[in-house]
Structure 1
């Protein structure tokens, strides 16, 4: 796909309200040629075989079912797959298993979801390439600190909660950033969530 090309989309979710909402938001975009919707994998496979969508957004719970999901992949093998989840992250193993280019969280704002779908339509991944490698190994304390950072707590607040010094918290956070190859708090939290290390 090139930047000016029209993109065909297929949204697959067992909840009609989700697919209707996605279709409503996405069809307003000038780069979207068509957005189809399906509420199960059998219907999605039929639509994918007929329309060959460039991007398929599929609910994470459906992506975990092997048989019918395989049929969807067979119906449109060139489609780029984006997993949708209600959680803020998807385990990297699931994305690798279903050969997805990334994920979107249903908790994201619609602008973020539209931007992610646009990237997928352009053939780009939705996560930095380093996330596709081995899952970083964080210590229990590093996971605790990142979880609290994700909740918006400062180092001083975390230090009080964990009864540690602010310098110790800073060291745990810095170590986690290094392991995740992150340059700031937001990036570290996103990468940890992507790998399923924190929720």
Structure 2
């Protein structure tokens, strides 16, 4: 479960990414870790297919070794014949000797401009690693970055909920409605089954009293209002997305939420129902 005191839960998606990385690249082993808040160090927390536990808990410093270089530069680093490579420092060689590592790949996982984690792939054979391995690992890292972004966004919204509840003001009820609906939107959009289940549990806990009991006028979030107002002017999903600086799929999700609340089946019905309910002009 996401702990609002400590931030997003990155360990679960990181752990699940390692088997995907191994399958996608064909490498012998994989490991990963999250970057500290100051961006200077990485702590290896997850292992998959490694020979020993020697790397678990290992701290990698920015600029040192293949991982430290990937962290410093913010781009993948691929090293063949690791122990004899001249492009990296060799302060961690003793660890890799235990793993019989010959080739090593380190791929940063970005959320926005920041590197939040590194994925490692380890090869024990002398077969050179190349562009196909880099491309496959980049796809896994990109998928993981999207999962991280969702985790960070959920944690941010839950911190808002905590703050609103501490204030004990009338306004939080409406804000809780909106956050509750946005979390549901994320749950419907994510392809991660584990995250979806956890989000539904959180939504049940966060659901404001008026949502549980129902109301005569459906509650639309601010974003749903904006989307419907734009659709009422004849704009397409792509045009609304550009106007609101979001993805077209996000606009579609907001429309689907509004349809569900208003009991409608298409855009025309939804706009008409929203007008009749006084939700839009």
- Shorter-chain TM band: 0.3 to 0.5
> Which structure has the larger Rg?
2
| TM-score when normalising by structure 2 | 0.26
Q: Flag the structure with more relative contact order, 1 or 2, with Cα contacts below 8 A and sequence separation at least 6.
A: 1
